[in-house]
Amino acid sequence: MMARKIKQEQPKKDGLTKSDIKHVCDILRRDDGVGAKDYIEQFSWLLFLKVFEGVEGQLKELEEAEGRKYKAVIDKEYQWSSWATKDWKDKDELIYFINQKLFPHLKELKGDPKKDKIGEIFRELSGNRIRSPHNLLDVVEILDKIEKHHFQDTHLLSQVYEEILQAMGSEGGWSGEFYTPRPIIRAMVKIVNPKLGETIFDPFVGSGGFLVESFNHLYEKSAKDVRAWRTLQTKTFYGQEKKPLPFLIGTMNMILHHILVPNLIRANTFMEDVHNMPESVKMDIILTNPPFGAEETEAVQNNFPIKVGATEGLALQYVMKRLKNGGRCGIILPEGNILFGGGTMARIRQELLEKFNVHTIISLPQGAFAQMGAGVKTNLVFFDKTGATKEIWYGEVKGKFTRNKTIQDEHFEEVLEKQKKREVSDRSWIVSIEDIKKRGYDLSPKNPTIIDHPDLLSPDEILGEIEKNQNKINEVVSSLKIILKK
């Protein structure tokens, strides 16, 4: 018998708008207790509680479709519709309720995975920072426009939330550790090509972009029935995040993108001892953008077979240990010691090439992460646990990118098409394992068709530089004339 279909959401005639959500952020920024630093955290927990009522509606529907009775995760008194829409005669009472009752209740939730997750999130938060009850009620009124049970506003919410995260990362200059541009993630997901039933893991989850885009990829190709939906919801997506705010944001972002009960845990990935990683925790697919450019202590290095301080060296070892036999990985690595350095870095690369099939490396231009304030040049490295490397296909993404001109999906079209056929061209080439061994296991992209491979300036840019230099020369000449006259 065919599994029951999941109900399709019906379009709404009106509701939340993009300007509404931006207005919420503006209200929170101007509150005395919140400000520019904490508005995303305050926005996230309020949005979480509003949207989670819709999540409970979908979870209830899923349980009942399989003949089970659903028990609410959050008690009635603390659900959004019970307190947010209440007529608070004394406005200060609302602040008291949130600080003294709502947060303590949510922090104490435990007993099943859903309650544990909410309890974990709220225990990590700094609490309610909104001091003005009027600001809080203004925000509540706007967020209450979101449809309660099926939250048809999810698509809009998820888009705007992504924009807010991107802007926040750009303002904070987080070097792409927290927020990876989505066109880069979508290209990586296409190459790794997850299948329904495979486990997908990000050990440095940040805002959850790799898991969200993997969900979108799988959902488009899966049967829209209860069995497929439950597999996607409970047995597919896993992640770890060290910091409390990204953990909340990653959870929130995944829920907004229909991953209703994310399998995320708060953990410092580098604190795991990977020497004897049990098979039961290994994953089919790992997609990640690890932190790089930082150094870890000797105590942390002891958790890894090859001791190295650089976080990118530890991250690469970690994903190698966490991948199942036959598994696939896509990882973002900086163009530096991890790809061409000697000593311990060369040993890590040698082990990678001897135990894994590194089949593809795609070089990104210098400004690919420019919108996040990151100037580091990066590469997308793909490998499978299917035997040793025989040859590596290299490709380059064309383009010059800045904060104002950011990398887009169309910039990957050519390189993805060539990668699929492993085509050789002026921007793609193949290197044999023998040649890689000869150059000391150097994996950095060296395009054989371009000598020195500079990023050439356009004619207009060259003329502009000449004009600037000429102006400087004229200034110097004028100064000299004045001196000589004196």
Judgement on whether residues 105 and 229 belong to the same structural domain of the protein: no
Q: Given this model, what pLDDT does residue 207 score?
A: 84
| Host domain of residue 413 | 182-438
Judgement on whether residues 188 and 112 belong to the same structural domain of the protein: no
Number of domains in the chain: 2
Q: How long a stretch of residues is the chain?
A: 486
Whether residue 9 is predicted with pLDDT greater than 50 in this model: the reply is: no
Q: Given this model, what pLDDT does residue 431 score?
A: 97
Q: Given this model, what pLDDT does residue 170 score?
A: 54
Whether residue 367 is predicted with pLDDT greater than 90 in this model: the reply is: no
Tens-digit pLDDT profile for residues 435-486: 999 999 999 999 998 765 445 555 666 666 677 677 767 777 776 777 777 6
Residue 162 included in any domain = no
Judgement on whether residues 252 and 395 belong to the same structural domain of the protein: yes
Please say which residue of 414, 438, 462 terminates a domain.
438
Judgement on whether residues 198 and 98 belong to the same structural domain of the protein: no
- What crossing angle do the helices spanning 35-65 and 18-30 adopt, rounded to 10°? 130
Burial of 9 (0-12, 13-18, 19+ CB in 10 A): middle
| Residue that wins the pLDDT comparison between 372 and 467 | 467
Distance CA 51, CA 253 (A): 11
Starting at the edge strand found earlier in the chain, the sheet holding 357-363 runs 263-266, 237-241, 200-202, 283-288, 323-334, 378-384, 357-363, 391-396, 428-432
Could you tell me if residue 4 is left (phi over 0), alpha (psi between -120 and 50 degrees) or otherwise beta?
beta
Judgement on whether residues 250 and 349 belong to the same structural domain of the protein: yes
- 3-class SS at 335? coil
Residue 256 included in any domain = yes
What's the CATH code of the domain at 45?
A: 1.20.1260.30
Q: Given this model, what pLDDT does residue 159 score?
A: 67
Q: Provide mean pLDDT across the span 177-204.
A: 92
Map tokens 């479709």 to a residue. 65
Distance CA 329, CA 309 (A): 22
Residue 480 included in any domain = no
Confidence of residue 176 (pLDDT cuts 50, 70, 90): very low
Q: Given this model, what pLDDT does residue 455 score?
A: 53
Distance CA 255, CA 242 (A): 19
Judgement on whether residues 196 and 234 belong to the same structural domain of the protein: yes
Residue 11 included in any domain = no
Q: Which DSSP symbol is given to 98?
A: I
Judgement on whether residues 300 and 229 belong to the same structural domain of the protein: yes
Of 193, 202, 210, 200, the residue nearest 232 (C-alpha): 200
Of 427, 340, 433, the residue nearest 387 (C-alpha): 433
Of 225, 162, 235, 241, the residue nearest 200 (C-alpha): 235
Percentage of the residues of the chain whose pLDDT score is greater than 70: 86
Residue 231 included in any domain = yes
What's the CATH code of the domain at 368?
A: 3.40.50.150
Residue 9 included in any domain = no
Judgement on whether residues 131 and 280 belong to the same structural domain of the protein: no
Residue 390 included in any domain = yes
Judgement on whether residues 118 and 220 belong to the same structural domain of the protein: no
Tens-digit pLDDT profile for residues 325-342: 999 999 999 998 999 999
Whether residue 212 is predicted with pLDDT greater than 50 in this model: the reply is: yes
HSE (CB half, 13 Å, CA atoms) of 255?
27
- 3-class SS at 168? helix
Distance CA 253, CA 185 (A): 15
